[in-house]
Amino acid sequence: MPSKEWGIYVRLLHWVIVLTVTFQLFSSLFMADTSTQYLFPYHEIIGLLASLAVLVFWVYAFAVYDLPILFPWNRKGLRIVGSETMNLFRGRLPEAGRRVGLSSFIHGLGLLALTGNALTGVILFNMLPAVHNVPPSDPIAFTHYSIDHKFFGDLLWVYWFGHIIFALLHQFLDNNVLGKIFSLRRRLDR
């Protein structure tokens, strides 16, 4: 099944998500140390921007009918994903691009992890008082959401590394996947 190229809006959203999520992941590594607490307000602001980008991505994916590509949870879609997974174990990389298959399915799972992280982050942001030197009004709920936020963050680390590894594999196999997703030149979708 041939793949379509990504439209300019998906590529712009990809840029925003890559930059914000990468900042969020790396800043989260240092925020527990008291000498780096100054990162926390940046983590909050960039996190809200990332959450907005995720929301826009969901709306856009719904509007252009990309949800069945990202979530091929029907018999035909799962058969394609299963076949491409088996081929991966045989050393054959699945085709990248905007089409039903393993690559899009993994992107959908990453979007779910990112959505969980963004949602719990927004909830935590709203639970914190404006002055951060006062504890939240419900510390038990805050702790539970913090644990969920960390869980989704750990999933995002796995996704982030896997995403980079497979993008580089595709790039080295002359698929120019990086040029196709990071180029901001306007092209007609095929």
Q: What is the CATH number of the domain that holds 170?
A: 1.20.950.20
34: amino acid identity, one letter: T
Q: What angle do CA 110, 114, 117 make, to 5 degrees?
A: 140
Whether 189 is in a domain gets the answer: no
Whether 3 is in a domain gets the answer: no
Whether 23 is in a domain gets the answer: yes
Whether 106 is in a domain gets the answer: yes
Longest dimension (CA), the chain: 56
- Predicted TM-score (pTM) of the model is 0.84
138: amino acid identity, one letter: D
Residue for token pair 């590894």 = 165
Identify the domain containing residue 27 by its residue range.
Answer: 8-182
Q: What is the mean pLDDT of each run of 10 residues along the chain (190 residues)?
A: 65 89 93 79 94 95 90 93 92 82 90 97 88 79 95 96 83 68 56
Domain tally, the chain: 1
Q: Which phi and psi angles does 7 have, rounded to 5°? A: -75, 165
Cβ proximity of 22 and 160 under 8 Å: yes
pLDDT at 93: 84
pLDDT at 91: 84
